[in-house]
Amino acid sequence: KQEVTQIPAALSVPEGENLVLNCSFTDSAIYNLQWFRQDPGKGLTSLLLIQSSQREQTSGRLNASLDKSSGRSTLYIAASQPGDSATYLCAVRPDFGNQAGTALIFGKGTTLSVSS
Amino acid sequence: EAGVAQSPRYKIIEKRQSVAFWCNPISGHATLYWYQQILGQGPKLLIQFQNNGVVDDSQLPKDRFSAERLKGVDSTLKIQPAKLEDSAVYLCASSSWTGKTEAFFGQGTRLTVV
């Protein structure tokens, strides 16, 4: 059974710091991995999608890496800003050989607070 | 491109009452998901549709929860009767069936059962 773990559960940093959020999963048979952002009381916003054949994806100040064999992904946020304060969720889509016929399995998230 | 639409945004009901949530996915997305997110937890899949057929409902409490997706577009999720432990945010998401299969989520419905 696939399990997703995110460490740390919470993180507080001053503005301007570079930071890394960690995600690990127990089964390396994944189709893709997605990072989401969730603001309080809101839905999930997709940040980055990494296909199983890819090593990393970048969008602005965000960079996500994937090491499928070791079951790990990291989300790197450069030059953090107070507006980055939110919960970041990692989710994997298992690969059962039926292309994309599975749903995302989520970690519990990392709650980030960036102070000015 | 319009996103995933959900309604209502908030709902407060008494235990043993019934409630229904509605979701309209992104146009052209064949796959639709309903997730339950309890405070402090990651979302948990309740049911997955491919067009109007059920792909996975293994975690849906079928004694009280039901869902349908008529004509392969809109979907409704119903709870009857509600329990206190059903208090959560109910999230709808959609994705394409092939290619990137990136999932997009709606704003969610926050349900409080009192």
- Residue B80's pLDDT is 97
Residue A90 contacts residue A107 (beta carbons within 8 Å): yes
pLDDT digits (tens, 9 = 90+) for B18-38: 999 999 999 999 999 999 999
Residue B111 contacts residue B86 (beta carbons within 8 Å): yes
Residue A34: pLDDT over 60: yes
Within an 8 Å CB–CB cutoff, is residue A41 touching chain B? yes
Region A38-66: mean pLDDT is 95
Per the structure block, which two tokens stand in for B78? 């119903």
Region B40-55: mean pLDDT is 93
Tell me what the pLDDT averaged over chain A comes to: 94
Nearest beta carbon to residue B42 from set A89, A100, A101: A89
Within an 8 Å CB–CB cutoff, is residue B101 touching chain A? yes
Residue B72: pLDDT over 90: no
Within an 8 Å CB–CB cutoff, is residue B45 touching chain A? yes
CA distance A87 to chain B (A): 10
Among candidate residues A24, A50, A25, the one with its CA nearest the CA of residue A36 = A50
Among candidate residues B108, B109, B48, the one with its CA nearest the CA of residue A44 = B108
> Could you tell me the pLDDT band of residue A32, with boundaries at 50, 70 and 90?
very high
- Residue A98's pLDDT is 63
> Could you tell me the pLDDT band of residue A101, with boundaries at 50, 70 and 90?
low
Nearest beta carbon to residue B105 from set A32, A44, A99: A44
Tell me what the pLDDT averaged over chain B comes to: 94
Instruction: Classify B23 as helix, strand or coil.
Output: strand
Within an 8 Å CB–CB cutoff, is residue A106 touching chain B? yes
Residue A43: pLDDT over 80: yes
- Residue B110's pLDDT is 97
Nearest beta carbon to residue B107 from set A4, A42, A49: A42
Residue A72 to residue A56: CA distance in whole angstroms = 12
Residue A95 contacts residue A52 (beta carbons within 8 Å): yes
Interface test with A, best of B101, B104, B109 (most A CBs within 10 A): B101
Strand pairing category for B104-105 and B88-95? antiparallel
Tell me the sheet residues that pair with B66. B78
Residues on chain B touching A93 (C-beta within 8 angstroms)? 101
